[in-house]
């Protein structure tokens, strides 16, 4: 049915500002973050290997929803930075002794903690992190917590490469849906351009992407925004997600650059920008690190390529003799708390060319079709056609846009707003040299 007008106006804003202000350094990052930050791809916050140390502050803030709603959130900020959602993506090396200091600046003076699923022997102030119980023996926290205004120091040895989650371990049914989570990437000894310590997990370093998938019930967030009593009385039996996000953003914000200035608390974009496979000049695949921090499975569907699933939950898919147990998928069905590591590429299989190898059907006049906002006007990679009068495109240089989205399709329509959920694109630039900005 009819798409609401203002959303498209906003989309134009999002993209045009992105195009015009293509400068990658839009936001000052703390010293240990990568600088300059690329417009697409994983944004790593790093420390000094082999003893990286991070300081995260649990706090409240606001993020923007795809329908222009504003959402009260709890999330993490680097202690010398500001609130962001999701929490900073921490990148460390295999074998590092990782220290994370959690500062508690939670609203309503709530206690909070961190858990690191997949990490073994997590220590708190030097002793094994343990669950906490109240005086009646009820479990209150999966890990030692910090009181309001205080801090707690976690440390562990990152023994296995892969993609992991960190999240709150305290009152998890509340604190995790409210936004207290982030990604942890452990790079293998084989090198930062590998996912695992397997040669067949190598990828193109400039084509490393993250799809952290989450959901929001706005009534839960609204209750906590009003007050401690209202929040505490929110009945989880009424839980119903209405927004589904990718890297903390809905579409079209999801395809805006990393650190887009109009999304000050949502620094991570999800556009996957790659070049076509070429045996000589671009032989290695891209990697997408899928992470589900929600409460149900998210069947993510990238068009136009089968992702090769090479790992789950930080384990390479291999047999006891290192046999390759990887498998291809066109729907990557990620369960709650899971991470999936997926290699992918796009191959110009037919090599269509307007002169030497045209498509085997007549190309209809553009006046006789409905034209998509990313369409170049031409079937051919690297080519553009002039649009009919009154129609313009966001296509820059004849690049291809191939969509990726969650295939539980109702999740794409936040509160009934069409095309607003976990949607992003695979942007395929023509081989270089090209005219792409």
Partner 1 sequence: MKKQFSRRDFLKVAGGAVFIVAGASVMPQFLRRTLLPEQVVGATDNFDLFFGGTDGWFYMPPEPAIPPWFPDSYAPEPFNTYIFGFRNVTGMTDAQRENQRNKAQHNAPFFWVDQEQELKVQLTNLGLAQRPDLTDAHTLHWHGFRNVIPFFDGEPTGSIAVPVGQLFTYVFRPHDPGTYMYHCHVEDVEHVTMGMTSLVFVRSLQNSLADGTLLGTWTHHTGDRYAYNDGDGSTYYDRENALFLSEIWAKGHWGDAHIQESDWSEFKADFSMLNGRVHPDTLLPNSPINLGASTHALTIQTDGNGDLLWPIEDPNGLHIEHQELQYNPHSSLITCNAGEKVLLRFANLGFREEAMTLAGIKMKVVGRDATLMKGRDGTDTSYMTDTILIGAGESYDVIFEAPAYQGPGLYDTYVLYNRRYTQDSNLSTGGAGGQRTEVRVYPGTLGPQQYLNQHPDDSAS
For the bound state, the minimum distance from the C-beta of residue 118 to partner 1, rounded and expressed in Å, comes to 23
Considering the complex, state which of residue 101 and residue 402 has its C-beta at the smaller distance from partner 1. 402
Considering the complex, state which of residue 126 and residue 319 has its C-beta at the smaller distance from partner 1. 319
Considering the complex, state which of residue 83 and residue 244 has its C-beta at the smaller distance from partner 1. 244
* Cα–Cα distance for residue pair 181/184, rounded to 1 Å: 10
Let me know: does 65 contact 98? Beta carbons within 8 Å.
Answer: no
Considering the complex, state which of residue 30 and residue 383 has its C-beta at the smaller distance from partner 1. 383
Alpha helices for 65-200 (secondary structure H): 172-175
Name the CA radius of gyration of the chain, rounded: 22
Q: Which helix (H) or strand (E) holds 222?
A: helix 218-226
For the bound state, the minimum distance from the C-beta of residue 373 to partner 1, rounded and expressed in Å, comes to 4
Considering the complex, state which of residue 77 and residue 382 has its C-beta at the smaller distance from partner 1. 382
For the bound state, the minimum distance from the C-beta of residue 15 to partner 1, rounded and expressed in Å, comes to 8
Other CB atoms within 10 Å distance of the CB of residue 374: 18
Q: Both tokens of residue 199?
A: 């040669």
Listed in sequence order, the residues at least 6 apart from 246 whose beta carbon sits closer than 8 Å to its beta carbon are 211, 212, 213, 254, 270, 422, 423, 424
Considering the complex, state which of residue 265 and residue 326 has its C-beta at the smaller distance from partner 1. 326
HSE-up (13 A, CA, CB side) for residue 142: 15
Other CB atoms within 10 Å distance of the CB of residue 337: 17
Q: Both tokens of residue 381?
A: 């990679």
Give me the phi and psi of 226, to 5 degrees please.
-75, -45
For the bound state, the minimum distance from the C-beta of residue 396 to partner 1, rounded and expressed in Å, comes to 5
Give me the phi and psi of 249, to 5 degrees please.
-130, 150
For the bound state, the minimum distance from the C-beta of residue 248 to partner 1, rounded and expressed in Å, comes to 18
Residue 9: DSSP 8-state: H
For the bound state, the minimum distance from the C-beta of residue 22 to partner 1, rounded and expressed in Å, comes to 12
* Cα–Cα distance for residue pair 183/343, rounded to 1 Å: 18
3-state DSSP call for residue 16? helix
Considering the complex, state which of residue 164 and residue 425 has its C-beta at the smaller distance from partner 1. 425
Let me know: does 164 contact 186? Beta carbons within 8 Å.
Answer: yes
Question: What distance lies between CA 99 and its chain's CA centroid?
Answer: 23
For the bound state, the minimum distance from the C-beta of residue 383 to partner 1, rounded and expressed in Å, comes to 8
For the bound state, the minimum distance from the C-beta of residue 242 to partner 1, rounded and expressed in Å, comes to 5
Listed in sequence order, the residues at least 6 apart from 117 whose beta carbon sits closer than 8 Å to its beta carbon are 164, 165, 167, 337
Considering the complex, state which of residue 97 and residue 384 has its C-beta at the smaller distance from partner 1. 384
Q: Which helix (H) or strand (E) holds 357?
A: none
Q: Both tokens of residue 427?
A: 């942007």
* Cα–Cα distance for residue pair 172/115, rounded to 1 Å: 10
Question: What distance lies between CA 393 and its chain's CA centroid?
Answer: 26
For the bound state, the minimum distance from the C-beta of residue 363 to partner 1, rounded and expressed in Å, comes to 5
For the bound state, the minimum distance from the C-beta of residue 233 to partner 1, rounded and expressed in Å, comes to 24
Burial class (CB in 10 A: 0-12, 13-18, 19+), 133: exposed
Considering the complex, state which of residue 122 and residue 310 has its C-beta at the smaller distance from partner 1. 310
Considering the complex, state which of residue 270 and residue 317 has its C-beta at the smaller distance from partner 1. 317
Q: Both tokens of residue 241?
A: 């997600």
For the bound state, the minimum distance from the C-beta of residue 257 to partner 1, rounded and expressed in Å, comes to 17
Considering the complex, state which of residue 132 and residue 200 has its C-beta at the smaller distance from partner 1. 200
* Cα–Cα distance for residue pair 93/52, rounded to 1 Å: 9
């Amino acid at each position: 049915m009819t798409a609401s007008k203002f959303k498209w106006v906003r989309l134009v804003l999002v993209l045009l500002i992105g195009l015009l202000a293509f400068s990658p350094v839009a936001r000052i990052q703390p010293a240990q973050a990568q600088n300059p930050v690329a417009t697409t791809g994983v944004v790593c916050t790093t420390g000094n290997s082999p003893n990286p140390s991070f300081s995260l502050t649990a706090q409240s803030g606001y993020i923007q929803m795809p329908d222009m709603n504003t959402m009260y959130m709890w999330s993490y900020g680097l202690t010398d930075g500001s609130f962001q959602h999701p929490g900073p993506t921490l990148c460390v090396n295999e074998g590092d002794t990782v220290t994370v200091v959690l500062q508690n600046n939670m609203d309503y003076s709530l206690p909070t903690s961190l858990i690191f699923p997949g990490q073994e022997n997590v220590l708190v102030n030097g002793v094994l992190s343990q669950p906490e119980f109240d005086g009646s023996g009820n479990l209150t926290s999966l890990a030692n917590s910090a009181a309001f205004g205080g801090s707690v120091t976690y440390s562990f040895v990152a023994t296995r490469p892969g993609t992991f989650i960190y999240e709150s371990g305290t009152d998890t049914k509340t604190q995790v849906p409210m936004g207290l989570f982030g990604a942890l990437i452990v790079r293998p000894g084989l090198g930062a351009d590998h996912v695992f310590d397997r040669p067949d997990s190598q990828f193109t370093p400039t084509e490393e992407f993250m799809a952290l998938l989450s959901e929001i019930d706005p009534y839960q967030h609204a209750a906590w925004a009003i007050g401690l009593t209202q929040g505490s009385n929110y009945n989880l039996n009424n839980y119903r997600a209405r927004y589904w996000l990718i890297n903390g953003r809905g579409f079209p914000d999801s395809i805006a650059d990393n650190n887009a200035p109009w999304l000050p608390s949502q620094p991570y974009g999800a556009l996957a920008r790659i070049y076509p496979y070429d045996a000589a000049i671009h032989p290695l695949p891209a990697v997408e690190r899928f992470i589900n921090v929600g409460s149900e499975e998210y069947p993510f569907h990238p068009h136009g390529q089968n992702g090769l699933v090479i790992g789950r939950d930080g384990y390479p898919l291999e047999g006891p003799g290192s046999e390759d147990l990887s498998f291809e998928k066109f729907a990557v069905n990620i369960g709650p708390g899971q991470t999936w590591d997926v290699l992918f590429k796009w191959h110009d299989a037919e090599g269509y060319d307007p002169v030497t190898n045209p498509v085997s059907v007549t190309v209809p006049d553009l006046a006789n079709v409905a034209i998509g906002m990313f369409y170049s006007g031409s079937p051919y990679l690297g080519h553009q056609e002039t649009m009919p009068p009154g129609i313009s495109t966001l296509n820059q240089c004849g690049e291809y846009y191939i969509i990726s989205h969650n295939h539980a399709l109702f999740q794409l329509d936040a509160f009934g707003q069409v095309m607003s959920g976990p949607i992003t694109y695979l942007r395929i630039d023509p081989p270089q040299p090209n005219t792409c900005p």
